[in-house]
A and B are shown apart, each in its own frame.
Chain A
Amino acid sequence: MDDKKKDIKMRVNEGLDQGTVLFNVPFPKDLQKLDEMAPIIIKQPYQIDYIHSYGQDSPFFAGLANKVFLGTKCTKCGKVFPTPRKSCAVCGSPCEWLEMPKEARLHSFTVCHFGSESFLKETPYILALIEFDGADTLFLGRLVGVDPLKPSLDWIGMKLKMKFRRLSQFSPTDVYFLPAD
C-alpha cells in the first residue's frame, strides 16, 4: 500500500517537472523579506492536436481537391459569396453551392515579413483578397508569381488565374493565385 502511494506521487511529479530547471532557490531567514524575493518562473509545455471538421463547408474543400472553386449563393437575396457560407450574412437565408469563374482580380494584398509562429518559415509571403465577377464578397488567398520585395499599389485590379495544389491538404491554400498574363 505504502509503495503504491509513493509510485503515484513520483509519476505526478514527472509530469509537472517537464521543462523545469531551477537552481539555488533564494530564501531569506527573515520571513518579512519574502516579498522582495525574485519571482520563480517555470516552463509549462502545452501541445494538442485538434480534430477539426469543416462540417457544412466540407464541399468547398472537396471541390478544391477536384480543381473546382465553389462559392455559395443566397436562395433569397441572390448574394454570391466566394468564401462559401451556407447561411446568408445579409438576410439569414440558406445558400446553395455554385462554381466560381476561373478568372479573378486582385482587390488588396500585403507582403508578410513576419507572421504567426507556424508561418514564420514561409516569409515573405503575399496575402491577397481576391474578387470575382458576379460575386458580392471576397476570398482570402495566397498570391505568387510577383516579387514580394517590390510591392506596388498598381498590382490592385490585376487579372489573376487560379492554380490548385496537386496533393490536396484540405486547406484553403489548396488553391492559390498568380497573374493571368
Chain B
Amino acid sequence: MRKVYVVAGGVSKFAKARPDKTFTGLVREAYQEILDDLDMEAPQLNELIDSSVTSYFSDHFQRQLMAGIMGQDYLGLIPKPSHRVEGGGATGGICFQEAYKEVASGDADITLAFGFEYMSHVATWKGNEFIALASDVSFDYPVGGFYSGYYAMMVVRHMKEFGTTPEQMAHVSVKNHRNAYYNPYSQKPMKIGIQDVRNAPMVAWPLTRLDICTMSDGAAALLLVSEEGLEKLEKATGKTLPKVYVRAIGRGTDAMRLADRPHQTFDEFYKFNALESEKTSEAKAYYKELFEKGFKYPGVHSFRAGRMASKQAYERAGITDPAKEIDFVELHDAYTSSEIQTYEDMGLCYYGQGGPFAASGKAFLPNVEYGLTLPEKSQVPVNPSGGLIACGHPVGASGLMQGVFALWQLQHSIEKHFNNNKLQVPNAKTGAIHSHAGTGTYVTVSILQRED
C-alpha cells in the first residue's frame, strides 16, 4: 500500500433544507472550498484529478437513481473513472476509505471523495420511515420501525447493565451543541444545560429531541493524493502543502437485526474482540468481574462493528493505548447514547465506563466554557466540531465532513476555516474519524496523522 495524504477538504453549509440549491449545487459548493483552499481554479484541479468516489445513502430520499454520476458531471470530472458507495450511516466513512484505497493501490494519484444527502424532499416523519427501511423489513420495520426506538432499547440495556444515566448522556448533548457554537458550518449551535436536554420532548424513552441528530441537506468533499499526486499539486500551486496522511483504516460489521447480535462469553471476548489496552492484568480483572455479573458481549448495549473497526485500525497503526495516543476523535454521534457506547468500542475507556467518562470532562475541549462542573481535565476531545448532533447529518456527507474537520484540526487551520480558534485541539497530531451505520452494522474507523 502506498502512503496517502489528505490535502484539502470542503463542506457545504448544512441546513434542515437547502432549497436554494439541488444536490449537485451542494456538491459544487463543497468542491469550491477545496479550490479556494488550494488557491486553484476548477479547470486546473480537474485536469489533475484521476478519479472520484461518491457517496449518498438513500435512493428514497434522493428520488434520483445514479445521483453520483450527476455530481461527477456537474463538477466537470467526466469522463474520468468514478463509482458510488453506500453503507447506511457509514456511507461517508466508506467513501473516505474507498478513495484511500484508490490512491493506496496505485490506481490513482489524485482522487476526489464527495458525498451528499438531500433529506428535505420529505417531511420529518416520512424521513424517519425511509431511515427505518434500513432495518429488516420483514422482522423489524413492521413492529414499529423507528431508529430512535432501536437506539433507545440499546441504551436502556446499557443503563441496566452499567448504571449509565440520562444525565450522563445529556453531557454529550451539552458538549456537542456548545462546540458547534464556534463552528460556522454547524446546523444547530446551542448553549444549553443538562436540564434543557432532559426537558426537551421525549422521543423514545429515555432519548429526548436533544439527544438525537436532525436531518439535513448538505455535501462534503475531500482530496486524497499519493506522494506523486502531492508533488503534482505542489508544482501546480507553487505552494508547500501541510502534510497530513492516512495512518490506517479499519472496518467492522454486525448483523442487520439488533435482535440477532450474539451474547458472547469472557473467553470469546478476549479471543475475538479485546483491544491491546484491555490485555493488562488490571483490565482482565475488571472484565472478569463484569462477565461474572452476567455481562455478555456485544449484546445490544455495545457495537461490535465499531470495536472491530477500531481494533483493525489500531493494529495497523500500531496504537496500543488509544486514549493516550489519539489527540481527538470525530465520531458518529447520531445519538448521545451512541457517542457513549462508541467511547467504549474505541477503547477510550472500558466497556461499562462510558457514562462516567462522558461526564468526566475528558472528552471536552480545554478552551471552551460549557457551564458544567467537570471533575477531570480535557484528555481526548470527542466531536470538537459539534458532531452530527449539532453539525447536522446529511448521511452520505457526514463521514466526509468528519474527515474535513479532522484534516483542519491536524493542519492546525481551524482558525482559518472557522474564523476563531476555540475548537482547535492544541498540538493535534493524531486524529480518528468514526462513521457508523444502522444499529451498528457497518462501522469505519480511520486514523489521520500530521507528519512531523
- Chain A residues within CB distance 8 Å of chain B: 39, 41, 44, 46, 52, 54, 57, 81-83, 85, 89-90, 107-120, 122, 125, 127-129, 136-142, 151, 153, 156, 171-173
A107 with B300, Cβ < 8 A, contacts A85-B260, A116-B132, A138-B259 known: yes
Contacting residue for B203 out of A46, A113, A138, A139, CB 8 A: A113
**Do B129 and A116 touch across chains, with their CB atoms under 8 A apart?**
yes
The distance in angstroms between the C-alpha atoms of A116 and B203, with both chains bound, is 11
B204 to chain A, nearest CB (A): 5
A81 with B260, Cβ < 8 A, contacts A39-B20, A113-B203 known: yes
Beyond known contacts A113-B204, A127-B150, A171-B142: 18 more, CB 8 A cutoff? A54-B138, A89-B260, A107-B300, A108-B154, A108-B160, A112-B148, A112-B203, A114-B146, A116-B129, A127-B144, A127-B149, A129-B300, A138-B258, A151-B205, A151-B206, A153-B156, A156-B156, A172-B142
Listed from nearest, the 7 A-B pairs whose CB atoms lie closest are A110-B152, A116-B129, A108-B157, A138-B259, A117-B125, A111-B205, A116-B128
CB 8 Å contact bits of B408-451 with A (1 = contact, 0 = none): 00000000000000000000000000000000000000000000
List residues 283-323 of chain B with CB under 8 A from any CB of chain A. 300
Contacting residue for A46 out of B63, B143, B153, B300, CB 8 A: B63
**Do B144 and A129 touch across chains, with their CB atoms under 8 A apart?**
no
A129 with B146, Cβ < 8 A, contacts A113-B202, A153-B160, A172-B139 known: no
A129 with B205, Cβ < 8 A, contacts A108-B156, A116-B125, A172-B143 known: no
A32 to chain B, nearest CB (A): 18
- Counting CB contacts under 8 A, is B81 at the interface? no
Contacting residue for A107 out of B123, B132, B157, CB 8 A: B157
**Do B260 and A115 touch across chains, with their CB atoms under 8 A apart?**
no
In the complex, 9 of the A-B residue pairs with CB atoms within 8 angstroms, ordered by the A residue number, are: A39-B19, A39-B20, A41-B19, A108-B154, A113-B201, A115-B145, A117-B125, A138-B260, A140-B258
**Do A119 and B204 touch across chains, with their CB atoms under 8 A apart?**
no
| B145: chain A residues within 8 A (beta carbon) | 115-116, 119
The A/B interface has a contact count, at CB < 8 Å, of: 137
CB 8 Å contact bits of B173-209 with A (1 = contact, 0 = none): 0000000000000000000000000000111111100
A118 with B19, Cβ < 8 A, contacts A108-B300, A109-B156 known: no
The distance in angstroms between the C-alpha atoms of A114 and B209, with both chains bound, is 10
Question: Among the interface residues B126, B144, B157, which one has the most CB atoms of the partner chain A within 10 A?
Answer: B144
**Do B143 and A173 touch across chains, with their CB atoms under 8 A apart?**
yes
- Chain B residues within CB distance 8 Å of chain A: 19-20, 63, 123, 125-126, 128-129, 131-132, 137-140, 142-146, 148-150, 152-154, 156-157, 159-160, 201-207, 255, 257-263, 300
The distance in angstroms between the C-alpha atoms of A140 and B152, with both chains bound, is 13
B52 to chain A, nearest CB (A): 26
| A153: chain B residues within 8 A (beta carbon) | 156, 159-160
Across the interface, name the chain A residue whose C-beta is closest to B137: A52
**Do B259 and A137 touch across chains, with their CB atoms under 8 A apart?**
yes
Contacting residue for A110 out of B129, B137, B138, B204, CB 8 A: B204
| A136: chain B residues within 8 A (beta carbon) | 262-263
The distance in angstroms between the C-alpha atoms of A117 and B145, with both chains bound, is 10
Contacting residue for B146 out of A107, A108, A119, CB 8 A: A119
| A151: chain B residues within 8 A (beta carbon) | 205-206
**Do A172 and B204 touch across chains, with their CB atoms under 8 A apart?**
no
A44 with B139, Cβ < 8 A, contacts A85-B260, A116-B132, A127-B149 known: no
The distance in angstroms between the C-alpha atoms of A88 and B131, with both chains bound, is 26
Across the interface, name the chain B residue whose C-beta is closest to A54: B138
**Do A113 and B205 touch across chains, with their CB atoms under 8 A apart?**
yes
A4 to chain B, nearest CB (A): 32
Across the interface, name the chain B residue whose C-beta is closest to A131: B263
The distance in angstroms between the C-alpha atoms of A171 and B262, with both chains bound, is 24
**Do B19 and A137 touch across chains, with their CB atoms under 8 A apart?**
no
The distance in angstroms between the C-alpha atoms of A28 and B300, with both chains bound, is 58
| B262: chain A residues within 8 A (beta carbon) | 89-90, 136-137
**Do B144 and A122 touch across chains, with their CB atoms under 8 A apart?**
yes
B124 to chain A, nearest CB (A): 9
Across the interface, name the chain A residue whose C-beta is closest to B163: A153
| B207: chain A residues within 8 A (beta carbon) | 110
**Do A112 and B19 touch across chains, with their CB atoms under 8 A apart?**
no
**Do B138 and A137 touch across chains, with their CB atoms under 8 A apart?**
no
B139 to chain A, nearest CB (A): 5
Contacting residue for B125 out of A82, A120, A127, CB 8 A: A120
**Do A125 and B260 touch across chains, with their CB atoms under 8 A apart?**
no
**Do A139 and B259 touch across chains, with their CB atoms under 8 A apart?**
yes
B395 to chain A, nearest CB (A): 16
B100 to chain A, nearest CB (A): 29
A61 to chain B, nearest CB (A): 9
